[in-house]
Amino acid sequence: MARLHGLSDRSLGTELLDIARVARIDRPDCSDPADTNASADCVILWQVVPEIARRLGAGPPTPDEAAVEYLPLSNMEFRAGVTWVIANRSFRYSIDHEVDTPSAAELLARRIIDGNPLAIGLDRVAPVPIEEADTADYIARKIFALSVSLGLPPRTTWSPELVPEPPRK
Protein backbone atom coordinates (compact mmCIF):
# COMPACT_ATOMS: atom_id res chain seq x y z
CA MET A 1 0.00 0.00 0.00
CA ALA A 2 2.93 2.32 0.56
CA ARG A 3 3.68 2.14 -3.17
CA LEU A 4 0.10 3.05 -4.10
CA HIS A 5 0.05 5.82 -1.51
CA GLY A 6 3.20 7.31 -3.03
CA LEU A 7 1.87 7.47 -6.60
CA SER A 8 0.81 10.70 -8.27
CA ASP A 9 -2.94 11.26 -8.51
CA ARG A 10 -3.07 10.26 -12.19
CA SER A 11 -0.96 7.13 -11.61
CA LEU A 12 -3.05 6.13 -8.60
CA GLY A 13 -6.21 6.52 -10.67
CA THR A 14 -4.76 4.38 -13.46
CA GLU A 15 -3.68 1.73 -10.96
CA LEU A 16 -7.14 1.69 -9.35
CA LEU A 17 -8.76 1.20 -12.76
CA ASP A 18 -6.38 -1.67 -13.54
CA ILE A 19 -7.18 -3.32 -10.19
CA ALA A 20 -10.95 -2.97 -10.77
CA ARG A 21 -10.73 -4.37 -14.31
CA VAL A 22 -8.80 -7.43 -13.13
CA ALA A 23 -11.22 -7.94 -10.23
CA ARG A 24 -14.17 -7.86 -12.66
CA ILE A 25 -12.64 -10.74 -14.62
CA ASP A 26 -12.41 -12.74 -11.40
CA ARG A 27 -16.03 -11.95 -10.49
CA PRO A 28 -18.48 -13.50 -12.99
CA ASP A 29 -21.34 -12.09 -10.92
CA CYS A 30 -20.05 -8.61 -11.80
CA SER A 31 -19.83 -9.17 -15.55
CA ASP A 32 -22.87 -7.05 -16.45
CA PRO A 33 -22.32 -3.33 -15.87
CA ALA A 34 -26.02 -2.64 -16.43
CA ASP A 35 -27.23 -5.02 -13.69
CA THR A 36 -29.58 -2.95 -11.55
CA ASN A 37 -29.49 -5.57 -8.77
CA ALA A 38 -25.71 -5.53 -8.52
CA SER A 39 -23.97 -6.04 -5.21
CA ALA A 40 -21.94 -3.28 -3.58
CA ASP A 41 -18.83 -5.02 -4.95
CA CYS A 42 -20.08 -4.72 -8.53
CA VAL A 43 -21.05 -1.08 -8.06
CA ILE A 44 -17.53 -0.42 -6.80
CA LEU A 45 -15.91 -2.21 -9.76
CA TRP A 46 -18.06 -0.65 -12.51
CA GLN A 47 -18.92 2.78 -11.14
CA VAL A 48 -17.07 3.92 -8.02
CA VAL A 49 -13.50 3.04 -9.00
CA PRO A 50 -13.80 4.47 -12.53
CA GLU A 51 -15.21 7.71 -11.11
CA ILE A 52 -12.45 7.96 -8.50
CA ALA A 53 -9.92 7.35 -11.28
CA ARG A 54 -11.53 9.98 -13.51
CA ARG A 55 -11.47 12.54 -10.70
CA LEU A 56 -7.79 11.72 -10.12
CA GLY A 57 -7.06 12.54 -13.76
CA ALA A 58 -6.56 9.00 -15.05
CA GLY A 59 -8.52 9.70 -18.20
CA PRO A 60 -12.07 8.91 -19.22
CA PRO A 61 -13.54 5.54 -18.26
CA THR A 62 -15.04 3.27 -20.90
CA PRO A 63 -18.73 3.84 -21.70
CA ASP A 64 -19.67 0.80 -19.58
CA GLU A 65 -17.75 2.25 -16.65
CA ALA A 66 -19.31 5.68 -16.82
CA ALA A 67 -21.62 6.55 -13.94
CA VAL A 68 -23.36 9.68 -15.13
CA GLU A 69 -25.16 10.17 -11.82
CA TYR A 70 -21.80 11.04 -10.22
CA LEU A 71 -20.78 13.70 -12.74
CA PRO A 72 -22.70 16.68 -11.29
CA LEU A 73 -21.59 15.93 -7.72
CA SER A 74 -18.86 17.91 -6.02
CA ASN A 75 -15.96 15.85 -4.71
CA MET A 76 -17.35 15.93 -1.16
CA GLU A 77 -20.86 15.01 -2.35
CA PHE A 78 -19.34 12.12 -4.29
CA ARG A 79 -17.45 11.01 -1.18
CA ALA A 80 -20.61 11.17 0.93
CA GLY A 81 -22.49 9.16 -1.67
CA VAL A 82 -20.00 6.33 -2.08
CA THR A 83 -18.51 5.90 1.39
CA TRP A 84 -21.35 3.61 2.46
CA VAL A 85 -20.74 1.43 -0.62
CA ILE A 86 -17.05 1.12 0.24
CA ALA A 87 -17.89 0.37 3.88
CA ASN A 88 -20.22 -2.45 2.73
CA ARG A 89 -17.91 -4.13 0.23
CA SER A 90 -17.58 -7.89 0.64
CA PHE A 91 -14.67 -8.95 -1.55
CA ARG A 92 -13.57 -11.28 1.26
CA TYR A 93 -14.92 -14.45 -0.30
CA SER A 94 -12.53 -13.96 -3.23
CA ILE A 95 -9.38 -14.10 -1.11
CA ASP A 96 -7.00 -17.04 -1.48
CA HIS A 97 -4.82 -17.07 1.64
CA GLU A 98 -2.48 -19.66 0.09
CA VAL A 99 -1.13 -17.16 -2.44
CA ASP A 100 1.71 -14.74 -1.63
CA THR A 101 0.68 -12.11 -4.17
CA PRO A 102 -2.70 -10.58 -3.34
CA SER A 103 -5.41 -10.71 -5.97
CA ALA A 104 -7.15 -7.58 -7.16
CA ALA A 105 -10.14 -8.50 -4.98
CA GLU A 106 -7.85 -8.97 -1.98
CA LEU A 107 -6.39 -5.49 -2.48
CA LEU A 108 -9.89 -4.02 -2.57
CA ALA A 109 -10.87 -6.04 0.51
CA ARG A 110 -8.13 -4.63 2.72
CA ARG A 111 -9.34 -3.07 5.92
CA ILE A 112 -9.46 0.71 5.86
CA ILE A 113 -6.96 0.94 8.72
CA ASP A 114 -4.47 -1.30 6.88
CA GLY A 115 -4.54 0.86 3.78
CA ASN A 116 -7.32 0.27 1.29
CA PRO A 117 -6.81 1.45 -2.31
CA LEU A 118 -10.40 2.68 -2.55
CA ALA A 119 -10.05 4.79 0.57
CA ILE A 120 -6.64 6.11 -0.49
CA GLY A 121 -8.11 7.23 -3.82
CA LEU A 122 -11.21 8.72 -2.22
CA ASP A 123 -9.05 10.60 0.30
CA ARG A 124 -7.12 12.14 -2.60
CA VAL A 125 -10.33 13.16 -4.37
CA ALA A 126 -12.02 14.61 -1.29
CA PRO A 127 -9.96 14.71 1.91
CA VAL A 128 -11.92 15.26 5.11
CA PRO A 129 -10.68 18.25 7.13
CA ILE A 130 -9.40 17.25 10.57
CA GLU A 131 -11.91 19.67 12.14
CA GLU A 132 -14.71 17.46 10.80
CA ALA A 133 -13.27 14.15 12.08
CA ASP A 134 -15.95 13.72 14.76
CA THR A 135 -18.80 14.00 12.28
CA ALA A 136 -17.02 12.60 9.24
CA ASP A 137 -17.81 9.47 7.29
CA TYR A 138 -16.87 5.91 8.21
CA ILE A 139 -13.48 6.00 6.47
CA ALA A 140 -12.26 9.25 8.01
CA ARG A 141 -13.49 8.26 11.48
CA LYS A 142 -11.62 4.92 11.30
CA ILE A 143 -8.38 6.63 10.31
CA PHE A 144 -8.82 9.36 12.91
CA ALA A 145 -9.40 6.80 15.70
CA LEU A 146 -6.38 4.76 14.58
CA SER A 147 -4.03 7.74 14.46
CA VAL A 148 -5.10 8.86 17.94
CA SER A 149 -4.78 5.31 19.35
CA LEU A 150 -1.23 5.07 17.99
CA GLY A 151 -0.27 8.38 19.59
CA LEU A 152 0.27 10.00 16.20
CA PRO A 153 -0.98 13.44 15.23
CA PRO A 154 -4.71 13.13 14.46
CA ARG A 155 -5.48 12.62 10.79
CA THR A 156 -8.38 11.61 8.56
CA THR A 157 -6.44 10.16 5.61
CA TRP A 158 -4.43 6.94 5.58
CA SER A 159 -0.64 6.89 5.29
CA PRO A 160 1.91 4.07 5.64
CA GLU A 161 2.98 5.31 9.07
CA LEU A 162 -0.36 4.05 10.42
CA VAL A 163 0.65 0.42 9.83
CA PRO A 164 3.58 -0.81 11.88
CA GLU A 165 6.22 -2.71 9.93
CA PRO A 166 6.22 -6.45 10.59
CA PRO A 167 9.19 -7.71 12.60
CA ARG A 168 12.19 -8.63 10.48
CA LYS A 169 13.29 -12.23 10.50
Lowest mean pLDDT among 36-40, 56-60, 112-116, 160-164: 36-40
CB atoms near residue 17 (< 10 Å): 22
Q: What is the pLDDT of residue 165?
A: 64
Give mean pLDDT, residues 124-147. Answer: 92
**Structurally, how many domains does the chain consist of?**
1
Mean pLDDT across the chain:
86
Q: What is the pLDDT of residue 124?
A: 96
Cα torsion for 29, 33, 37, 39, to the nearest 10°?
60
Residue 168 lies in a domain: no
Residue 21 lies in a domain: yes
Residue 169 lies in a domain: no
Residues 57 and 62: their CA atoms lie apart, in Å, by 14
Domain span including residue 87 = 2-126
Q: What tens digit of pLDDT does each residue of 20-47 get?
A: 999 988 888 888 888 777 788 888 899 8
pLDDT class of 97 with cuts at 50, 70, 90: low
Taking the model in full, what pTM does it have?
A: 0.87
Residues 148 and 136: their CA atoms lie apart, in Å, by 15
Residue 137 lies in a domain: no
Q: Is 100 a residue whose pLDDT tops 80?
A: no
Residue 161 lies in a domain: no
Q: Is 61 a residue whose pLDDT tops 90?
A: no
Q: What tens digit of pLDDT does each residue of 1-14 get?
A: 899 999 999 999 99
What letter does residue 46 receive in the DSSP assignment? Answer: I
Residue 36 lies in a domain: yes
Residue 15 lies in a domain: yes
Residue 146 lies in a domain: no
